[in-house]
Amino acid sequence: MKISIKKVPALYDLLYGAFALVMLVAAIMATLPNGFSLTGVGSTLMQWANHLWWLTLPGIVLHLLSYFASQNQRLLLIGNLIGLCAFIAFILIPNYSVFAVIGLAVAMFLILSGAKRSRRVHNNSEVS
């Protein structure tokens, strides 16, 4: 697969999703000595979000660029909107990061499926 502006957000989604999962596990491990609680994990994630919110900005910019570059491809548009919402959720409500990671996975799947489909349609139109 060639790298293009339409598919780069999926790569960043993969990298940031892995980082978010590691951050979630670290937050769980940080709350274990005091006794596990979801509120403790959520407050730990909220404290860390103050220092890490700027890591979501490249994802927002990449999804916006990809969105505007793929105006005629429905799967890419939907995938970019879901990815954009997931990155905004990481900033605004980091204690629900599990759902934002699921959103990133869905966005990644839609973007890659849409890019593969548009390439196949483009190749078929060249042959005709």
Residue 59 lies in a domain: yes
**pLDDT tens-digit readout, 32-54:** 998 888 899 999 999 998 888 89
Residue 39 lies in a domain: yes
For 108, the domain range is 8-127
CA distances to 115, 119, 127 from 10, rounded to whole Å, are 10, 16, 29
CA distances to 41, 42, 70, 117 from 112, rounded to whole Å, are 32, 31, 12, 9
| Structure tokens, 58 | 């490249």
Residue 26 lies in a domain: yes
Q: Please tell me the pTM assigned to this model.
A: 0.86
Residue 118 lies in a domain: yes
Count of domains in the chain?
1
**pLDDT tens-digit readout, 81-114:** 999 999 999 999 988 999 999 999 999 999 999 8
